[in-house]
Amino acid sequence: MRKFRHAVESAVLLIVRLGFGAGLFYRGLTRVLDGSDAYVATLVAAGLPWPTVFFWGSVALEMGGGVMLAAGVLTRLVGAVLVVQFVMTTAWIHWWNGFFVRDNGYEYAVAQGLLGLVLAGFGGGVVAVDQLIFGRKKNKDKDVTAATMADVIAP
């Protein structure tokens, strides 16, 4: 039962990483393709210093972080940085517009921040590059063998 639960957790984390990572990458890409003018104007209106730097930092985090999440590379770190980004965007941009995303409210930013928090807390799961880099040492220290998807499927 323990192996099955571990495999389900890893499958859920894989699905979350792939979906969230793809969404972030696409959002960053559309910001680049649409141009920075409207987004930078929003940041200027919010009173942020260096709005162009914030714009390109956001694009780099969304595109680079999206790819990293999908692959499961430094998942906890990327998740933590995304939490910071979405707390900042909620506080500076969306909070004053109310809850609903249709009014440019904080609904979507909070949901994305919570996804980042989940990934920062739980990591990428077994099916992640992080597991290849850090997993063996961690599991060796605990004297526990991590279940893989094959362990659950194979009798």
Q: Which of 35-49, 88-102, 107-121 has the highest mean pLDDT?
A: 107-121
In whole angstroms, what is the distance from residue 116 CA to residue 66 CA? 11
Tokens in use for 90? 């909620």
Among residues 74, 11, 85, the alpha carbon closest in space to that of 43 is found at 85
- pLDDT score at 36: 83
- Any idea where the domains of the chain sit in the sequence? 2-144
Q: What is the distance between the alpha carbons of residues 56 and 40, in angstroms, rounded to a whole number?
A: 10
- pLDDT digit string, tens, across residues 143-155: 444 445 455 444 4
The pLDDT of residue 136? 60
Alpha carbon distance 16, 125 (integer Å): 11
CA end-to-end distance (rounded Å), the chain: 13
pLDDT tens, residue by residue, 90-105:
988 889 888 998 888 8
